[in-house]
Homo-oligomer: A and B are copies of this chain.
Amino acid sequence: MATIKQVAAAAGVSVATVSRYFNTPEQLSEQTRERVRRAVEQLTYYPSALGRNLRTSQTRKILVILPTISNPFYSRIITGMEEVAEKNGYSVLTCTTGGNPESEKNKLKMLYDRFVDGAVFFSTSLSRRQFDRLALEYPVVQCCEYQEGSAAGAVSIDNEQAAYEAVRYLLELGHRRVALVNSNNRFESSILREKGYRRALKEYGLSVREEYIRRGTYGFHNGEESLHHFLSLKEPPTAVFTVADSIAVGVIHAALEQGLQVGKAYSVIGFDDTSLARMYRPGITSVAQPRKELGEAAARLLLRRFQASPKSGELIFLPHRLVIRESTEG
Q: Which residue numbers of A lie inside 8 Å of B, CB to CB? A: 1, 44, 46-54, 57, 59, 61, 63, 68-72, 74-76, 78-79, 82, 86, 91-96, 98, 106-107, 109-110, 112-115, 137, 220, 246, 249-250, 253, 256, 275-276, 278-281
The residue in A61, A69, A220 that gathers the most chain B C-beta atoms within 10 A of its C-beta is A69
Is A79 within 8 A of B95, CB to CB? no
The residue in A137, A250, A279 that gathers the most chain B C-beta atoms within 10 A of its C-beta is A279
Contact partner of A106 among B1, B78, B91, B95, CB < 8 A?
A: B91
Q: Given A69-B74, A113-B47: A94 and B95 within 8 A (CB)? A: yes
Is B68 within 8 A of A114, CB to CB? no
Q: Given A91-B110, A253-B279, A281-B281: A78 and B50 within 8 A (CB)? A: no
Q: Given A75-B68, A91-B106, A92-B95: A50 and B114 within 8 A (CB)? A: yes
A9 → chain B, closest Cβ, in Å? 20
The residue in A70, A98, A137 that gathers the most chain B C-beta atoms within 10 A of its C-beta is A70
Query: Whose C-beta in chain B lies nearest to the C-beta of A57?
Result: B50
Query: Whose C-beta in chain B lies nearest to the C-beta of A52?
Result: B113
The residue in A51, A74, A94, A249 that gathers the most chain B C-beta atoms within 10 A of its C-beta is A94
A139 → chain B, closest Cβ, in Å? 13
Is B110 within 8 A of A94, CB to CB? no
Chain B residues in 8 Å Cβ range of A278: 220
Contact partner of A114 among B48, B78, B79, B137, CB < 8 A?
A: B48
Contact partner of A220 among B96, B112, B279, CB < 8 A?
A: B279
Q: Given A54-B51, A249-B279: A86 and B106 within 8 A (CB)? A: yes
Q: Given A70-B72, A95-B94: A46 and B113 within 8 A (CB)? A: yes
Chain B residues in 8 Å Cβ range of A114: 1, 48-50
Is A113 within 8 A of B49, CB to CB? yes
Q: Given A49-B113, A279-B249: A69 and B75 within 8 A (CB)? A: yes
CA distance A276 to B113 in the complex (A): 39
Contact partner of A94 among B69, B82, B98, B249, CB < 8 A?
A: B69
Chain B residues in 8 Å Cβ range of A93: 63, 93-95
Query: Whose C-beta in chain B lies nearest to the C-beta of A94?
Result: B94
Known: A50-B113, A51-B54, A79-B98. 14 other contacts (CB 8 A): A48-B114, A50-B59, A50-B115, A52-B113, A53-B53, A59-B115, A68-B75, A72-B72, A86-B106, A91-B95, A93-B94, A246-B275, A250-B279, A279-B280
CA distance A82 to B25 in the complex (A): 41
CA distance A92 to B47 in the complex (A): 23
CA distance A82 to B66 in the complex (A): 14
A254 → chain B, closest Cβ, in Å? 11
CA distance A113 to B59 in the complex (A): 11
A277 → chain B, closest Cβ, in Å? 12
CA distance A59 to B51 in the complex (A): 12
Chain B residues in 8 Å Cβ range of A98: 79
